[in-house]
Chain A
Amino acid sequence: MAQSLFQKVWAAHSVRLLANGQTQLLIGTHLIHEVTSPQAFGMLRDLGLKVAMPHRTFATVDHIVPTDRQSEPFSDPLADAMIRELRKNCTAHGITYFDLASGRQGIVHMVGPEQGITQPGTTIACGDSHTSTHGAFGAIALGIGTSQVRDVLATQTIALGPLKVRRINVEGRLRPGVYAKDVILHIIRTLGVNGGTGFAYEYGGAVFDAFSMEERMTVCNMSIEGGARVGYVNPDETTFAYLKGRPYSPTGPAWDAAVARWRATASDPGCQYDDVVTILGADIPPTVTWGINPGQGIAITENIPDPAKAAAADEQASITEALAYMKLTAGAPIKGIRIDVAFLGSCTNARLSDFKEVAKYLKGHRVAPGVKAIAVPGSQIVGRLCAELGIDRVFREAGFDWREAGCSMCLAMNPDKLVGDQLCASSSNRNFKGRQGSPTGRTLLMSPLMVAAAAVTGGVADAREVFGVNN
């Protein structure tokens, strides 16, 4: 019978059925970072257990790392204690750790793909909801809690019920100035922030076939913002070409065998999905959020919603709450709203292609007076590649602060924070109240080029107009 990738990978990694009806699922690759692992190692110690498969566990440090200067000790003693704890745990258990001095440190969801650790047909878990990013390679990649991090450390398995699969086709082509970020913001806006509950999202169609791995990662990254724990794209030649020659990719005859296996894990033609949604690429506009969850987005050309015009009482209440927090006016255009900060970074959009694309247009422009603009590569490798290509210079000359690798202002567990009710044009993935470090800080999510357009004009802007995008 024709099967989906999800069904195949699930079956291959199912160990047995547990008493409560869940499956004991083998986790092939475990990624850990400093925020959600220390308590798990503590639990392991309390139970007197060892790490079951240290060679399948990989660590890095990202959330708490200062991006102005990565050298230790950090000025924040709490952050310093966390990195020391991670180092200690990795050493004690023989876990590979991409430390600050490794040259390979970065946001955990960047490091896995860069190193070739993230592979098709595998199961991946990490104590971080954006683990869905790795699904871009055709893996089942799950964000888990700390008790489950303990479970994976101790047994290399978790207890989980199966998910349904929703196939999301994006057909045709995207219009100029429309990016992968717009695709996922549009999907979330269309299906809702909890539309994906109980589902794995399988993305496909002509737009995804044409997407690079980096673009696929941007979309899969934000699956969780649509309520889907898992998002994936079937592996294809683009996937294999990306993985070839990476440090942890198979080599020689093992490479050919792996590619054959990977190919076979893709969803079979004619397999049954629990739901199918089709979107036309041409219908997707450059999208900006105006509210306090990632589903509250509109086209850059639209006006901010008016609660009085909302159909349901529920929606009315949520629009009212969002506008009050965001200090935005119902019915006003989103275009032109003044911003204070522009943030280009995070595991959604801090890859080489993101900076390359922006640099293409940024030359000759200057960050508007009064705007603080920061660009933060997602990994040390991306930072180095940008330096080699002179991309960092383009950003610096435009008036951006060019930083070192980390999560930075995506969630502000480091010194990069909004102050007061600053409004931030951000390429990250969450616009929750207080997300960027100030309890009253405000976030507008958008694509990297739209962040750049906001930075140089000082307000929310249509990047197509600002930069004359028409390729």
Chain B
Amino acid sequence: MALAHITSITGRGLNVPGNDIDTDRIIPARFLKAVTFDGLGEGLFYDARKAVSAAGQVHPLDDARFRGATILLSGANFGCGSSREHAPQAIQKFGFKAIVAESYAEIFFGNATTIGLACVSADRTDIARLAAAIAADPAMELAVDLVAREIRFGGQTVKLSMRDSARDALVHGRWDPIGELLDGREAVAATAAGLPYLAGPQK
């Protein structure tokens, strides 16, 4: 199974500001009533978007100026809450290829990485600069460079950080571990043999 080497993501940005944006907000539970991940993009931030439009404003996801953006900006502890992979799936299906946020909730980060959605971290002040630049020029291209560990935009460069294991997995095309896990079959059997409860009586 050959996976893409995700070394750099270039595209336009879109900012959904705020800290502790939870998975219920990213994809409300009623969109989980399905046996596939198809069509999840439409549910992305569904209730938040509706609430904003009901207040007579335009949510960034519905703002024509940002249409086609592939890089999502947000705050700290992004993706907290449930383990639903539907959250990163919805973000990816909407068209995003990378997220730039201050920090991530653990399960979300792992889920996103496993589907090849790059979650990079940047300083709060740098994210604010990025957001300001995007707001001033929505057509501006950003480059999220995992190899150089930097984000370049409008003549500026800011540092990004990312856990080594995830960065390595994306850059070397190993973000979906299933192939490697399957290769470990014999080692798994050996480990299992040392654990009595795995052989335990079946009921």
Residues of chain A whose beta carbon lies under 8 Å from any beta carbon of chain B? 12-16, 18-22, 24, 26, 28, 35-36, 38-39, 42, 47, 49, 52-53, 55-56, 63-64, 76, 78-79, 81-82, 85, 96, 119, 121-122, 127-129, 131, 143-148, 150-151, 154-161, 193-194, 197-198, 224, 227, 229, 247-248, 250, 254, 257-258, 261, 293, 314, 318, 321, 411-413, 430, 432-435, 437, 439-440
- The CA-CA distance from A151 to B185 in the complex, in Å, is 12
| Interface assignment of B68: CB less than 8 Å from any CB of chain A | no
Give B contacts to A, CB under 8 Å. Answer: 18-20, 22, 24-25, 28-30, 32-37, 47-48, 50-51, 76-77, 80-86, 88, 103, 105-107, 110-111, 114-115, 163-166, 168-169, 172, 174, 176-178, 180-182, 184-185, 187-188, 191-192, 194-198, 200-203
Pairs A–B under 8 Å by Cβ, sample size 26: A20-B165, A20-B169, A21-B164, A22-B165, A47-B178, A64-B33, A119-B197, A143-B82, A144-B107, A145-B88, A147-B115, A148-B110, A148-B111, A154-B178, A157-B184, A158-B177, A159-B180, A161-B163, A194-B103, A227-B80, A314-B19, A412-B29, A430-B22, A432-B22, A434-B24, A435-B24
B34 contacts across to A, CB distance below 8 A: 78, 82
A241 CB, nearest partner CB in chain B, Å: 19
Distance A115 CA – B80 CA, assembled complex (angstroms): 30
How distant is the Cα of A55 from the Cα of B197 in the complex, in angstroms?
A: 11
CB <8 Å contact, A194 and B188: no
Give the shortest distance, in Å, between B127 (CB) and chain A (any CB).
Answer: 13
A81-B35, A82-B33 known; A434-B25 Cβ under 8 A: yes
Contacts of A96 in B (CB 8 A): 203
Among B22, B28, B82, B106, point to the contact of A229 (Cβ < 8 A): B106
Q: Hey, which chain B residues are within 8 Å of A155, CB to CB?
A: 178, 181-182, 184-185, 188
Given A12-B194, A14-B191, also A145-B163 (CB < 8 A): no
Judging by beta carbons under 8 Å apart, are A24 and B103 in contact? no
Is there contact, CB below 8 Å, between A20 and B168?
yes
Given A15-B191, A21-B165, A127-B83, residue A159 in contact with residue B35 (CB < 8 A): no
CB distance from B191 to the nearest CB of A (A): 5
CB of B24 within 8 A of CB of A432, answer yes
Pairwise interchain contact B47-A434, C-beta atoms closer than 8 A: yes
**Complex partner residue of A439 from B47, B81, B178, CB under 8 angstroms:** B47
B177 lies within 8 A of A151 (CB): yes
Which residues from B are CB-within-8-Å of A314? 19
Using Cβ atoms and an 8 Å threshold, which residues of chain B touch A76?
A: 33
The answer to whether residues A129 and B81 also contact, given A145-B111, A161-B163 and a CB cut-off of 8 A, is yes
Residues of the B chain whose Cβ atoms lie less than 8 Å from the Cβ of A435: 24, 29
| A192 (CB) vs chain B CBs: closest residue | B77
Q: Take A143-B107, A434-B24 as given contacts and tell me if A15 and B188 are in contact as well, using a CB distance cutoff of 8 Å.
A: yes
In the bound complex, what is the Cα–Cα distance between A318 and B176 (angstroms)? 35
Using A81-B35, A227-B105, A439-B51 as known contacts, say yes or no to A193 and B80 having CB atoms under 8 A apart: yes
Contact, CB under 8 Å: B198 / A194: no
Given contacts A42-B36, A434-B28, list 10 more A-B pairs with CB under 8 A. Answer: A131-B83, A145-B111, A151-B177, A159-B180, A194-B20, A227-B77, A229-B107, A261-B196, A413-B30, A433-B24
Q: Which 5 A-B pairs have the closest CB atoms?
A: A145-B111, A145-B85, A439-B47, A38-B35, A143-B83
Contact B36 A430 (CB under 8 A): no
**A433 close to B107 (CB less than 8 A):** no
Q: Contact: A257 with B84, CB < 8 Å?
A: no
Measured CA separation A4–B76 after assembly (Å):
30
Q: In the bound complex, what is the Cα–Cα distance between A107 and B103 (angstroms)?
A: 31
* Nearest B residue to A43, CB-CB: B178
On whether A154 and B22 interact (CB within 8 A), knowing A15-B187, A229-B107, the answer reads no
Contact check: which of B84, B191, B198 meets A36 at CB < 8 Å? B84
Task: Known A18-B177, A21-B165, A76-B33; judge A293-B110 contact (CB<8 A).
Answer: no
Most B C-beta atoms less than 10 A away, residue of A154, A159, A293, A411: A159
Q: In the bound complex, do residue B106 and residue A197 qualify as a contact, i.e. CB atoms below 8 Å apart?
A: yes
B18 to A321, Cβ gap below 8 A?
Answer: yes
B165 in contact with A247 (CB, 8 Å): no
Q: Is B33 within 8 A of A20, CB to CB? A: no
Establish whether residues A26 and B191, one from each chain, have CB atoms under 8 Å apart when the complex forms. yes
**Nearest Cβ in chain A — how far from B103, in angstroms?**
7
Q: Are A24 and B19 touching (Cβ within 8 A)?
A: no
Closest residue on chain A to residue B78 by CB atoms: A194
